[in-house]
Amino acid sequence: MSDEIINKVAASGLITLDLEEYYPKDEIAVFDLKPHLFMGMILKEKDFRTAMQQLDWTVYGDKVVAVTCSAEAIIPMWAYMLVATYLQPVAKDIIFGNEQTARQQLFVRNIEAIPADQYIDQRVVVKGCGDVPIGEFAYLEITKKLRPVAKSIMYGEPCSTVPIFKKK
């Protein structure tokens, strides 16, 4: 009997994909239309345009900006368009929704940018535990990305996986 320790996980040919590596690291600022509404409920065009002209838009420089309205108000589409015209020259990106929505969209973009060809006919384990809370949507997106190319997809850790997909 040999005393040599063999790393069976390393020898298995499994590729571990850690979704934490694709978690967005961009700073996200929220632009809420509510403070610019009359009585927090009504958009008055002239007042709104004046308020947008007077804002210091540089505070959004190099940030991803989530544009939302936290008031239950009817906001005309042009208002969002006007906000975008001021944000675009300074912001890194503009996304409609709250901070969580923006982070999710950025995460999906990062997953979509993963080169699928490196996983062709590979046995892939999508890591299941980590320090960053990864939403269900990310696991759904990575599965959509890998299924057409991977030989197999598993969830968990290389020492303890749950089979998800196996090419026949």
CA–CA distance, 30 with 42 (Å, rounded to integer): 20
- The residue written with tokens 């960053």 in the block is 132
Q: Which residue has the higher pLDDT, 40 or 66?
A: 66
* Least confident residue range of 16-25, 96-105, 116-125, 158-167: 158-167
Q: What mean pLDDT is predicted for residues 116-125?
A: 95
- For the chain, how many residues are written? 168
Share of the chain above pLDDT 90, in %: 80
To 5 degrees, how large is the angle CA 17–CA 12–CA 138?
Answer: 15
| Averaged pLDDT score across all residues of the chain | 91
pLDDT for res 145? 97
The model's pTM is: 0.84
- 118 neighbors 8 (Cβ within 8 angstroms): no
Strand order in the sheet with 28-32: 28-32, 64-68, 93-96
pLDDT of residue 128: 86
- For residues 112-120, give the mean pLDDT: 95
When pLDDT is averaged across residues 149-160 and rounded to a whole number, the result is 92
pLDDT digits (tens, 9 = 90+) for 2-38: 666 544 444 467 999 999 999 999 999 999 999 999 8
